[in-house]
Chain A
Amino acid sequence: MLILNNATKEYDDVIVFKGLSHSIEKGKIYSLLGPSGCGKTTILRILAELEKPSKGNIDLQGQRVSYIFQEPRLLPWETVRKNLELVCPKKEIKKINEILELMELKDYSNAYPKELSGGMKQRVAIMRAFLYPHEILLMDEPFQALDLKLKTKLIKEIYNLHQSMKNTILFVTHDLDEALLLGDEILILSPKPAKIVKKFTINIPQAERKPDDMQFIKEEITRLLNHAPI
């Protein structure tokens, strides 16, 4: 399914990407890997309709989009439960308890964001994204501020939630390990103007992947990232 069709994004003199096309397969996880500032976030923002492409178009074919931002973006004046309720349809409100339990945050359901650690806040943001009815989940470097242990744990949790929902995930990151741990397909982006320079398909099941594995792919991707054509 073609979601980005020959899309171009420019700000004044800067071309973020030009003639970018990308299609997705339902239920797959795509890791978009590229150097910082290459326009990865802009791609997600356009898909979420927070920005418009300068040329070309997006077509999500009626699929709804959910989003995990770089920052948790929780309402500080609402409790964890209320933050989740705001995006959750009434008939699925029961799911909140289930997901709180799954993410080990049940005891914090009446806490305010200021009472949570950075990792806990990001987990609430992950729960919120999964509770919002969607077919495509966009994730914009959501583990940036977290340590490796927590990062690995959250990636597992996201994968489990994805397994039960079968949503399509577009995961933007500049961290090779993260991309390899979660993605079914790894798309390597060049620096600005961004284009997809190579695509890798990972056939190892996510549950069996470890950060230290996949050395061969890692080396190739690192080489590509270092010598990506401009």
Chain B
Amino acid sequence: MNHSIIRNKRAYLLISIFIFIIIWQISSIIVGPLIMPSPIETVKVLADLAIQPDFWKDIAISMGRGFIGFFLAVLVGTPLGFWMGLREEIEAFFYPLLVLTQTTPTVSWLILGWLWFGTGDGAAAIFIIWIIVIPFIIVNVMEGTKQLDAQLMEMSKVFRIPLKKKILHFYIPQIFPYWLAGCSIGSGLTWKGVAMAELLTARTGIGATMGVARINLEIAQVIVWSGVLVLLGYGSSRLIKRLESAFTRKWR
């Protein structure tokens, strides 16, 4: 029974992809290959690009920037969220900054990043990813810290659990799922943000290359690069899900 459901799910997934390709093909026929290149043409462009070292170099550069920006957001956001969750006065102090980063439109950060860091080595892109990801890490870690089980924390107090053990066995396991949820949202934003930031502020990387393709009206290339970004986003969200189930599988 269970097996057949899984099989069905897979079948539906394949049907969905198939219908998508058909619609793509039909629209290509209707509007013409200049506006909408056909799936086969796009695959050909992908094959041409994939044999060029620059293709992989651009992906590596964007991944590097994405990773650094994301990593820095996690590095700063995790302890800050934890501290804000533990102490109300700290939350109140950082609250205006949190709201500011949460509500400022990405396009504002794009322009500001570009003006502050200029174009070139990708510092602007790293900054933009950092600033759009960090509020999600902070909010989730803060929420996780506020939800700490009061009964377990009391138990740790009665048995005078030393701080190191408390962090390892009380805080981390309870906050980890919230942290991962923040990372999951953050990783999605990272790959969207990296391309956008590079388009405006960098000369290398996926976004910058997409900008060149746009100027040259190479629509197939734009589609290929979009596909790469989709894969990066999907891959990182899968990785995070795996981490979560590896962590909770045994005891939940």
Contacts and interface: CB of A to CB of B under 8 A. Distances in A.
Interface of A: 48-50, 65-67, 69, 71, 73, 75-78, 82, 86-87, 112-114, 128, 132
Given A75-B152, A87-B161, 16 more contacts: A48-B158, A50-B157, A65-B158, A66-B158, A66-B159, A67-B155, A73-B152, A75-B169, A75-B170, A77-B248, A77-B251, A78-B251, A112-B251, A113-B251, A114-B251, A132-B159
B165 A86 contact: yes
Interface of B: 151-152, 154-155, 157-159, 161, 165, 169-170, 173, 248, 250-252
13 contacts: A67-B158, A69-B151, A71-B151, A75-B152, A75-B173, A76-B251, A76-B252, A77-B251, A78-B251, A86-B161, A86-B165, A86-B169, A114-B251
Contacts of B159: 66-67, 86-87, 128, 132
A75 to B, nearest CB: 6
B251 A73 contact: no
Contact of A78 (B155, B158, B169): B169
A48 B155 CA distance: 10
Contacts of A113: 251
Nearest to B158: A67
Nearest to B170: A75
Contacts, number: 43
B158 A77 contact: no
A130 to B, nearest CB: 12
A78 to B, nearest CB: 6
Contacts of B250: 112
A73 B155 contact: yes
A50 B158 contact: yes
A90 B252 CA distance: 28
A50 B158 CA distance: 8
Nearest to B156: A86
A69 B251 contact: no
A65 B155 CA distance: 12
Q: Give the interface centre of A71, A76, A78 by most chain B CB atoms within 10 Å.
A: A76
A117 to B, nearest CB: 16
Contacts of A75: 152, 169-170, 173
Contacts of B158: 48, 50, 65-67
A22 B198 CA distance: 73
Contacts of B252: 76, 114
A67 B155 CA distance: 8
A87 B170 CA distance: 13
Across the A-B interface, give the 3 residue pairs with the lowest CB-CB distance, nearest first: A112-B251, A87-B159, A77-B173
Q: Give the interface centre of B157, B161, B169 by most chain A CB atoms within 10 Å.
A: B169
Contacts of A50: 154, 157-158
A73 B153 CA distance: 10
A226 B127 CA distance: 71
A114 B250 CA distance: 10
Contacts of A77: 173, 248, 251
